[in-house]
Structure 1
Amino acid sequence: MNLLPQICATRPALGRTRYLRFRVTAPDMEPVERYVPVEQGTAELPIVPPGKGRVLEVRGYTDLPRAGGRVVALGRSRAFEVPASAGDARPTVSVAIRQVDTYTYPSTAQGACESLAEPRAAHTATLLEDGRVLLAGGYRTGSDGVDSTVSSAELFDPMTGAVTRVPALESPRAFHTATRLPGGKVLLAGGEVRTVEGVLPVRSARVLDVAQGTSTEVELAVARSHHAAAMDAGGRVLFVGGVGAGGEVVARAEGYDASTGQVFSVSTPVPRVGMAAMPVQDGRRIAVVGGSDGAELRPEVLFFSFEGGSFVPVGEGARLREPRRDAALVPFGGPERLLYVGGHASPGGVEDARLLASSELVSPGAETQVSPGPQVFARSGLCAVALPDGRVMTLGGVRGPVSDPHVELLVPGRDGAAPALLGLTPPAQPRHHHSCTVLEDGSVLIAGGQSEDGSQRTTLDDLLVYTPVPLD
């Protein structure tokens, strides 16, 4: 076993640890665990029965739990296989362990702090099948205050902390979408390019095969940025809304079939910007929530399913109680309940808009229900991610002309109880147009973004990993 404590410029991951707990779980076995003093390290790992899908979790405790010890460090391995034959080689399992409730700067094996190869905001971050994260595109603000669009892409490996360049995108783009396709490829679609002539929407898409180091261009039916995309269970991607040529709201929807590599038309128009899209009901449907048509906020919750060779609207869409745009949509307490959180109550920009300190719960089903969600810190353009245990973490966004620093943890209520909100310590720099990605071990990667204080704009190049305190 390789235990990889993150040290970098922060306190060592095991600095307050007296005991380590090694716990192995899998769907076909009872958990096995062992507590050992930290100085003993990995000398006495628990015996694991043979089989696939084993996951090793390592926790650092200030003392034994029965003596009141607290969890101060945490890490989980990727799933591994233990061979049945004693003659077969035993697997080498690596675990990156980090302090909980702390923003950790990734580090290399030599202990150097890692950062993005290039500052970027309004980029995409996609978790790949091998656990790495692809960060692509975006924009950056130069020392002269002028924005330029980024054409580079890079890979972050959470296990080693390494950042590596990948071949540059054929065309720069920001405010695009990234969808992980079946087979591990990534579809980067649309976006915009910032030039001296102004902002130009992008019509093209690219399918990146990171493993092979190749990419294939796909031509969309319409140029769009600030749009939404979601994939159903059959590998078909729905594109809706966005901003097109001349700043007009795009009404035309379209789809992409990963099995054929073809773009197909969708007859139902969805003229929206500032909305969100997400698969529901095990990917049989795609929900489109919120946004504005440019003149009015749209309260209708739309659902699409793939029938007869295209996406078609289905069901009686419910209505938001408090229409909004530029909010975050994320599963809450499980895959079949969505939380639509934050945003602002103006069909246009956020500068003079009323920020919303509320959220709404959308429960798709035979009859879609919309109910009030927990109160939150008021801001727009925030990121929100669903943790494996059902909690939701939100971070950053904008409040008028400045970046918002707030970070919060939303905890679903149990047995009918109301959800709870916990304010978390913010990172050193507030940000918007950043990315938040849940890693395989349940930690959250926060990458780049724009930091603005009303007088100065800075495009960030930092990488932060936040490990939430476990519920149990």
Structure 2
Amino acid sequence: MLTPRALHTATLLENGTVLIAGGIANIPRDAIDSSEIFDPARGVFLPSGTMTRARQQAVAVRLSDGRVLIASGFGRGDDPFFLGHPIIDGGWGGYDPLDTAEIYNPMSRTFSSIGSTGFAHLIHSATLLDDGKVLLIDDDSAKLFDPAKGTFVPAGKPVVRRYSHAAAKLRDGRVLIACDGANEEERKSAEIYDPRSDRFTRTGDTLKLSALCHAALLSDGRVLVTGRAGRDSEEAEVYDPKMGTFSSAGKLPYVLAEPVPSQLYDGRVLVTGVSIPFYPVHKDGLDAQLYDRKSNAFESIGAVPPDRSEYTSTTLTAGSVLIAGGEATERPFYADASLLYCP
């Protein structure tokens, strides 16, 4: 990348390029306001516009008209390995989340401010709905962003207060929200948002998953959810929207720290992450695994150098996966080398 960074956003644009924006690139972990474009046709990163506000750990989603909404995040961070998760890390490090949002226009490659989101807490997910609006959820509230009006309006209230979560839009337009409740029982809970009724309702609990979860929609309409079960155990489970239940997705060949799933066009899911405990098998790299829904099993496909966390994983139009940026455990802390996984 042009700027080594972590905790940034990566958004696939309509023309097949990827917008990478914000994040952190130094210590102390002040946010940066630069952005760049990855062009897969040429395999290069190109400079893009400057954000209206430096932000890290923001949420981003491509709108129906091709523009990109970027919201919330932090203006500053904490120590070099602050994960931004209050349950795991014991707080937000004393830094207040940003209550602003902006829009990126890919035609002009510029950012414009759209003012305050009205959220008091960090926004944890942004999901594009079938009607073109965006569902945004923070710790204990939800709002809808209307791109046509450029406004944020209150949505139904989530059932469970969550300090982070995984969110995935289902085939029928509803949204699954899971993990990271305020107590042990609620951390294993999940709920469904129905945009037709503007209501959140409880669905089946996870089997073991509780925190730092990520979700990927499978080709059969179910959802693969990966994440943490306790402090030293990682799990993968599948949510069936027809049954409203979670089931085991089989055992990961190696336990990964905060495993990140990316849907492939052949129906499999690429899952990457650093092994726990660090480097029991592969040194200086991410472990990569493939999940096959038909066999409900994972297969290890080796290590991906260099060691990194807090990176982004984006499935490109041609089917490959871009792994960009990240934060290492040793100097240099930030990785400028990006990777392509070609299935």
2:319 aligns to what? Answer: 390
Post-superposition Cα deviations, 1:355-404, rounded to whole Å, max 9, x if no partner, equal 75311000112x31311124212222221101111111101222237333
- Structure 1 residue 372 corresponds to structure 2 residue 308: no
Change (3 A) 1:142 1:369: closer
Structure 1 segment 196-345 matched on structure 2, within 5 A: 202-217=139-154, 218-242=156-180, 244=182, 250-269=187-206, 271-282=209-220, 284-289=221-226, 291-299=227-235, 301-307=236-242, 311-313=244-246, 317-332=249-264, 334-345=265-276
Matched positions, count:
288
Contact 1:275 1:288 in 2 (8 A): yes
Change (3 A) 1:97 1:142: closer
Post-superposition Cα deviations, 1:139-184, rounded to whole Å, max 9, x if no partner, equal 11189x9633101111001111121111411114436011111111
Determine helix, strand or coil for the equivalent of 1:398.
Answer: coil
**Contiguous gaps of at least 5 residues in structure 1:** 1-55, 58-73, 76-95, 107-113, 191-201, 348-353, 413-472
Contact 2:168 2:177 in 1 (8 A): yes
Determine helix, strand or coil for the equivalent of 2:163.
Answer: coil
Determine helix, strand or coil for the equivalent of 1:138.
Answer: coil
Contact 1:327 1:381 in 2 (8 A): no
How far 1:239 moved relative to its partner? 1.0
- Structure 1 residue 181 corresponds to structure 2 residue 140: no
1:149 aligns to what? Answer: 97
Determine helix, strand or coil for the equivalent of 2:318.
Answer: coil
Tell me the distance in 2 between the aligned counterparts of 1:248 and 1:120. Answer: 32
Contact 1:345 1:355 in 2 (8 A): no
Contact 1:117 1:154 in 2 (8 A): yes
Q: 1:102 aligns with which of 38, 44, 51?
A: 44
Identity between Structure 1 and Structure 2 (%): 23
Contact 1:229 1:239 in 2 (8 A): yes
How far 1:237 moved relative to its partner? 1.0
Change (3 A) 1:343 1:225: farther
Q: 1:118 aligns with which of 26, 48, 53?
A: 53
Determine helix, strand or coil for the equivalent of 1:206.
Answer: strand
Tell me the distance in 1 between the aligned counterparts of 2:275 and 2:167. Answer: 21
CA RMSD in angstroms comes to 3.2
Which protein is bigger by CA-based radius of gyration? 1
1:138 aligns to what? Answer: 73
- Bigger shift: residues 232-241 or 218-227: 218-227
Change (3 A) 1:135 1:97: closer
User: Under a length normalisation based on structure 2, what TM-score does the superposition of the two structures give?
Assistant: 0.75
**Contiguous gaps of at least 5 residues in structure 2:** 1-13, 18-36, 79-92
Tell me the distance in 2 between the aligned counterparts of 1:125 and 1:261. Answer: 22
Tell me the distance in 1 between the aligned counterparts of 2:188 and 2:144. Answer: 24
Contact 1:123 1:136 in 2 (8 A): yes
